[in-house]
Amino acid sequence: MEFIAKVTAILRRCSANAKEQGASFLDGKLSINYATREVCVLGKPVKLTPIEYKPLCRLVKNGGSLGSQVNLLQSVWGPNYEAAPEFLKKYI
């Protein structure tokens, strides 16, 4: 029973990730393909580093809100960077 519960939980998480990866964002100027990590502005591809890509996606997915500084630092750089605001100033 425990094994089946664990497998079911893993499959549920994989299914949720697959749905999110297949999604995309498109407005008049900006488009993001989450599956391929392609970003375009006015139809032209924009090369972003992974650190530049993560806050952009967070901004888009949260309707223009980045949330708190600590949450953004943790989600982009990890829990060891929550007291390092200079990273935000450099990349945003």
Do 87 and 55 belong together in one domain? yes
pLDDT on residue 2: 77
Query: Do 41 and 54 belong together in one domain?
Result: no
My answer on whether 66 and 41 are in the same domain is no
9 and 35 within one domain: yes
5 and 41 inside one domain: yes
Number of structural domains the chain divides into? 2
Position 13: which residue type?
Answer: R
- Per the CB < 8 A criterion, the answer to whether 28 and 68 are in contact is no
Q: Specify the pTM.
A: 0.62
Strand order in the sheet with 30-33: 24-26, 30-33, 38-41, 44-46
Per-residue pLDDT tens over the stretch 15-34: 555 445 557 888 888 999 98
Same domain, 60 and 83: yes
Average pLDDT value for residue range 61-83: 74
Give the domain range for residue 78: 49-92
57 and 90 assigned to the same domain: yes
* In a shared domain, residues 34 and 72: no
